[in-house]
Amino acid sequence: MGWWENQYGNQLRISGTATFAFGLLTAMSGAQLLFLQDNADFSDYTGASIVLIVIGAIGLAVSAPAFLNLSSNAKTLDSIMANKSLSEIRKSKADGDEAARLLGGGHLDAWNSFLQEKGLKKR
């Protein structure tokens, strides 16, 4: 198993943090290139800014898809758990099971306790 698979249950938090950090790095480097490179005090940082914007873009390309996928799974669970209709919950149970399995950790525990509370899963 690789490092990412060993982080089961923490993947949403890790990918969210990485996406935010690389997004901030890209935005700050872009701001330097767009607005500050003509300023005499900041002209020395243009080369470093180009390198950092490339690193930030690569990091976003790696972390953002994982974050968006895991975030959509969390939203799927939230929307199913917010539903009051037992028949609608039964229809969506397979999607919820898959989303909880992918997210793991606290999401899986919350999903299982929700199903037990609704009487859809045996203890």
Query: Which residue, among 92, 90, 123, 96, has the nearest Cα to 111 in the 3D structure?
Result: 96
**Helix-helix angle 105-118:46-82, to 10 degrees:** 10
Domain ranges of the chain: 3-118
pTM over 0.75: yes
pLDDT value at residue 123:
59
Which DSSP string do the residues of 56-117 spell out, in sequence order? HHHHHHHHHHHHHHHHHHHHHHHHHHH---HHHHHHHHHHHHHHHHHH-HHHHHHHHHHHHH
Cα radius of gyration rounded to whole Å, the chain: 21
Backbone phi and psi for residue 120, each to the nearest 5 degrees, phi listed first:
-100, 0
pLDDT value at residue 121:
76
Average pLDDT by consecutive 10-residue portion of the chain (123 residues)? 89 97 97 89 90 98 97 97 93 95 94 92 65
Residue partners of 119: CB distance under 8 A and separation at least 6: none
